[in-house]
A and B are shown apart, each in its own frame.
Chain A
Amino acid sequence: EVQLVQSGTEVKKPGESLKISCKGSGYIFTSYWIGWVRQMPGKGLEWIGIIYPTDSDTRYSPSFQGQVTISADKSISTAYLQWSSLKASDTAIYYCARRQAGSRLDYWGQGTLVTVSS
């Protein structure tokens, strides 16, 4: 069974750093891109970026370029999304998902709620 399991809820202060994770199982982790998607409170889905775990080839949405860093450790089948300096506007649920050809996301993690507040 394909599963993506994300790390738990985070509560941070503005300016702090954060790294959240997404662990894949039930499939060959290095054979598929992993995508990250943001959902701000009461809002829709937004692409953040994607990573190919085999070689860590990474692509970012222009809106997120320079704001976050996506990485992966293929030895433990885990992808990461990190911030060096959080802002209140980063408050959102962040989802990882397995990306297939044609941009479809066929399996999703349960989401990680990140709250940034002073």
Chain B
Amino acid sequence: QSALTQPASVSGSPGQSITISCTGTSSDVGGYKYVSWYQQHPAKAPKLMIYDVSNRPSGVSNRFSGSKSGDTASLTISGLQAEDEADYYCNSYTSSNTLGVFGTGTKVTVL
């Protein structure tokens, strides 16, 4: 099972919106509504930001939103803030195994 494909880096200025893509196949992203997104600050554990493509856990800012089209899922961060600078990973349920598959990760830089 190959990792889902994410851009290595995305950057934006404070207040702007950015979008991170997560591309898989019909066996994972395209086949299920089970894509989740995680934020990881340096030396910290990952934090769930979006689940089931577009749902936000309680306590997560509504500046974070998720969507999916075909085999590609996306995470959008609107009103970019300095605290959003972190690594972001997608994960999808997959028919290849019962665990899931993570994306390659994207480093978000706030200019």
| Chain A residues with a Cβ under 8 A of chain B | 35, 37, 44-47, 49-50, 59, 61-62, 95, 97, 100-111
Contacts and interface: CB of A to CB of B under 8 A. Distances in A.
Given A102-B34, A104-B36, A46 B51 contact: no
Interface stretch (B9-17, B18-26, B73-81, B86-94): B86-94
B41 to A, nearest CB: 12
Interface string B1-13: 1010000000000
13 contacts: A37-B102, A44-B89, A44-B102, A45-B102, A47-B101, A49-B99, A61-B97, A101-B34, A102-B93, A103-B99, A105-B48, A109-B45, A110-B45
Contacts of B3: 44
A106 B99 contact: no
A97 B102 CA distance: 14
B57 A95 contact: no
Contacts of A111: 45
B45 A47 contact: no
Interface residues of B, number: 28
Nearest to B57: A106
A45 B51 contact: no
A14 to B, nearest CB: 25
Nearest to B33: A102
Contacts, number: 74
Nearest to A59: B98
Decide if the interface of chain A is mainly helix, strand, loop or mixed.
Answer: strand
The 9 closest A-B pairs by CB, nearest first: A102-B34, A103-B100, A104-B36, A44-B105, A47-B99, A108-B45, A104-B51, A103-B93, A45-B102
Contact of B91 (A61, A105, A108, A110): A105
B32 to A, nearest CB: 7
Nearest to A60: B99
B104 to A, nearest CB: 6
B31 interface: no
Contacts of A110: 45
